[in-house]
Amino acid sequence: MKRFFGYYRPYKSLFILDFSCAIVAGILELAFPIAVNQVIDKIMPQNNFRIILLACIGLLLFYIINTVLQYIVVFFGHKLGVLIETDMRDELFKKLQSQSFTYYDEQKTGTLLSRLTTDLFDISEVAHHGPEDVFITVMTLLGSFILMLNMHVKLAIATFILVPFITVALVFFNKKMTNVNTEIYESIAEFNAGVEAAVTGIRVTQSFANEAYENSRFTRLSQLYKRAKLMFYKVMAISSAYNYLMIRLINLFALVFGAYYTIQGQLTNGEFVGFILLSNVFIRPIEKVNNMIEDYPKGIAGFKRLTEELDRNSTIVDLPEAIDVESLKGNISYQDISFYYADDTKVLDHFNLEITAGETVAFVGESGSGKTTLCNLLPRFYEPSSGKITIDGIDIQKITLASLNKLA
């Protein structure tokens, strides 16, 4: 969480604006039922339409102010999310730029594209809605419950009694959907990688009449993605249906018990109407939490994948004693070089070569014999498994990558 909120630091003023407007809007929502209560119990009995009209104009001002606040929360809140998303994307792209060729040998293009696009979009939504939704939900629940207690303690408790059942369900479904979303992201990555490979290799596929194989492969990837999505929506549907029932029962409890206490004379008509309105305010954040269950697991799963990528160390980095080199003559020496790929495929075995400055050397050999690998070892796109390479007698591992690549 500390790492996630670190992305808010450059946009403190925007966050404060969005957050404060959301709080004020939440408070005004709580004030409305109380205002209606006063209109019914204190103003209506006076039979003075002018005062009622003034009260309604006051309520209209409430609505206008809330409309402006809603605009600020929606636009500037999403702007905050987009800015954070952009920073994350820039950071991830810079990280990808610093990775070695070995890293890209083990990655699929579609997987990396998913992490730069789909993952970050869902994180952006959480960055915008996350803090304010959680705070406003807690504030609205507590605020409306306290106001309901002030009106009638027994009625408030009867209305609140179902909330623990909703809370337990929210925790359960949130954990379940986070796990499902992780599977979805993995399926999307595999799906994108499969599409990318199929499209870029279409000439080879058609040349060897391999369309049937590619179609079956694509169908398998599509089915995996479909199953993951259906599982997500199944869990979401169960959660939504359960919460819908609980929320409507809260409304029903407020109506039944409120009517009973009003008939008994323990509540005025204004308090009864105000209580019903407060119960609607009370359940609104619960409904919002239902939406949060759909969006938050996506963002959490996406952020985990982002941090995994950002924390992945590059296999080729500057040594502490590496030096910047301004110029080199170009005497190159490969000394007892061996090189294996990650799957232990041997490419070079105790290879030696001397190239003097100004000399032109041509490599001839069949595909896979190591010609390209020899060239890639010089600028340290790969590291040799053993042996060393020197330029003008300087081990290339003791030259900074920036100066080595600049001179290369």
pLDDT at 196: 67
**What is 1-152+295-315's CATH number, 1.20.1560.10, 3.30.70.360, 3.40.50.2020, 3.30.360.10?**
1.20.1560.10
Task: Report residue 396 as tokens.
Answer: 């290339």
Q: d(Cα 199, Cα 245) in Å, to the nearest integer?
A: 48
Structural domain 332-407, CATH architecture: 3-Layer(aba) Sandwich (3.40)
- Give the tens place of pLDDT for each residue, 91-105: 888 888 877 777 776
340 SS3 class: strand
**Confidence band of 61 (pLDDT split at 50, 70, 90):** confident
Q: What is the largest CA-CA distance in the chain?
A: 106
pLDDT at 294: 62
Q: What is the mean pLDDT of residues 33-54?
A: 78
Task: Report residue 69 as tokens.
Answer: 């606040």
**Confidence band of 300 (pLDDT split at 50, 70, 90):** confident
pLDDT at 226: 78
Share of the chain above pLDDT 70, in %: 88
CATH 1.20.1560.10 positions along the chain are 1-152+295-315
Check the CA dihedral 302-304-305-309 and report its sign. positive
Containing 350, the helix (H) or strand (E) segment is strand 346-355
Q: Which residues pair with 354 in a beta bridge?
A: 333
pLDDT at 40: 77
- Give the tens place of pLDDT for each residue, 181-224: 677 767 776 766 676 666 666 666 665 666 777 777 777 777 87
Tokens 């000439």 map to which residue?
Answer: 203
What's CA 386's distance to the chain center, in Å? 41
Do 66 and 31 touch, CB atoms closer than 8 A?
no
CATH 3.40.50.300 positions along the chain are 332-407
pLDDT at 287: 66
Q: How far is CA 315 from CA 127, 291, 300, 384, in A?
A: 31, 41, 27, 12
DSSP sequence for 123-172: HHHHHHHHHHHHHHHHHHHHHHHHHHHHH-HHHHHHHHTTHHHHHHHHHH
Do 378 and 396 touch, CB atoms closer than 8 A?
yes
Indicate whether 367 pLDDT > 80: no
Name the residue with higher pLDDT: 162 or 77.
Answer: 77
pLDDT at 116: 79
Lowest mean pLDDT, pick from 107-111, 133-137, 281-285, 308-312: 107-111
Amino acid at 15: F
Residues 6+ apart with CB under 8 A from 147: 30, 33, 34, 278
- Give the tens place of pLDDT for each residue, 255-279: 888 888 888 888 888 888 888 888 8
Name the residue with higher pLDDT: 125 or 19.
Answer: 19
pLDDT at 131: 75
pLDDT at 99: 79
336 φ/ψ sector (left φ>0, alpha ψ -120 to 50, else beta) = left
Do 337 and 375 touch, CB atoms closer than 8 A?
no
Of the CA atoms within 13 Å of residue 405, those in its CB half-sphere come to 11
